[in-house]
Amino acid sequence: MNREEKHTIQKWLMGIPFSHFITVEPTPSLSFKRDEIIQRMRTIEFLLNKKYLKSSFPKWNAKQRFWMIGFSEGDGFAHQIHYHILLHSPSVLHRNIRFTNVGADLQMEWMMMKSLNPYTGKSRKFCLYGKPPLNIQTVKDVSASSIYCSKWMNKIEDGGGYFFTTPNNKKPCRVAA
């Protein structure tokens, strides 16, 4: 990805009213793999949509539901690999919930999910008393958050600089036999 493409994507991101800035903290001794981050956040995104929106949310456009875009940062050598994620929250929530705290829901769902050590296959334990595995902040400046999250886009090869957690909902097209 060249610098011009990076700036085009950053400009697009600045026009989206993201609600939360999430950092998956680096764990040098046992870093998360990108696929696991995507799958965990995809599950959390679904649970947020299910909790706060009507059951028809999969058919809604992106402005009306929760969705995330994530970015890898680090090379694994001089800079620990970790992830920054921007969460878009809809302006209208459809469920009458007494306490709405999307950030707390994110953290709790993350900690409740099972996670396996990719090397030993044993279950990871998240410490409840130390540093939380996710750093979640409310976005105050979309431009600054967008630029910060995407700063490594042109440093990571193979298109791995960013990812969406929402699965593509396009129906497969038929191929003539």
Helix (H, G, I), strand (E, B) or coil at 69: strand
Q: Tell me the torsion sign for CA atoms 68, 121, 26, 74.
A: negative
Can you tell me which residue has the tokens 């999307």? Answer: 102
Q: Summarize pLDDT for 92-151 with one digit per residue, the tens.
A: 887 767 667 899 999 889 888 888 777 777 777 666 556 677 899 999 999 999 989 888
pLDDT of residue 42: 94
Rounded to 5 degrees, φ, ψ at 78 are -80, -20
Please tell me the predicted confidence (pLDDT) of residue 175: 55
Give 126 or 7, the one with higher predicted confidence: 7
Percent of the chain at pLDDT > 90 equals: 33
Burial environment of residue 114 by CB neighbours within 10 A (0 to 12, 13 to 18, 19 or more): exposed
pLDDT at site 4:
83
Q: What are the sequence ranges of the domains in the chain?
A: 3-164
Helices 34-52, 102-112: crossing angle, 10 deg rounding: 130
Per-residue pLDDT at 177: 47
Contact 68, 87 (CB under 8 A): yes
Q: Give residues with Cβ within 8 angstroms of 168, minimum separation 6.
A: none
116 phi/psi in degrees, rounded to 5: -105, 140
Indicate the SS3 state at residue 63.
helix
For tokens 């995330």, name the residue.
Answer: 68
Give the mean pLDDT of 45-66: 91
pTM score of the predicted model? 0.83
The residue ranking higher by pLDDT, 74 or 90, is 90
Over 90: is that where the pLDDT of 162 sits?
Answer: no
Q: Quick check: 159 pLDDT over 60?
A: no
